Structures are given as structure tokens and as C-alpha cells.
Amino acid sequence: MKPQEISDTTFVSKSTLYRLLDKLGYSGLTEFKIDFAAAIQPKNNQNLNLDVDDPIKESDSLREISENLSDLYQETIHEPRNISITGRLLKSLISC
């Protein structure tokens, strides 16, 4: 993906994109893409034992389910990686 396409997808200017890369210590977009691809590669190859029902268990009462979902919701809201622009940037870079 070209810098202009990333900028358009993430709703930032190319200058902002390059300032971010500079602050992250990268000399350019290509260097960042290589590091990013290497960082996510092991995660794509792992066989994750993901429990799609987590945090809900069959033995949980309605109250426990409600509390667990509330806790999960609060964790999700406060996770810094859920910032919308970060998500859009990562999606753009993954599709490169």
C-alpha cells in the first residue's frame, strides 16, 4: 500500500504518517512495514486455543454472566489499542 492510500484510509496527512514513523524510530514506511509484518507473523501461525464463550461458562448464573460481560466491556473500553485510528492504520498496513 502506498503512503497516500494509508493516509486516505486513516484520515491523516502523509506528513502526519511520516512524523509518526519518525517518532517510532523508523527511517521510512518500508522499514516499518517489514517490522510490522515480522511482528504479526508469529501470531498468524499460532494455533490459539480460544474459548469463544469466555468469560461465560455453562454453570454461570445470569448475574455472573452479566457481571463478567460488564467487566469485559470495561476492559475493552479502557484498552489503548482499541483507539479507532490505530485500528484503521493497522488494517491499512496489513493489507499491504
Local confidence pLDDT in tens for the 96 residues of the chain:
888 988 888 899 999 999 999 988 889 999 888 888 877 776 555 555 656 657 778 888 889 888 888 888 777 776 654 445 556 566 666 655
Q: How far is 89 from 7, CA to CA, in rounded Å?
A: 9
What's the pLDDT score for residue 55? 72
Q: How far is 37 from 33, CA to CA, in rounded Å?
A: 6
- Provide the grid cell at 30: 518500508
Q: How far is 87 from 94, CA to CA, in rounded Å?
A: 10
Q: How far is 37 from 96, CA to CA, in rounded Å?
A: 10
Q: How far is 55 from 72, CA to CA, in rounded Å?
A: 8
pTM above threshold 0.85: no
* Residues present in the chain in total: 96
What's the pLDDT score for residue 82? 45
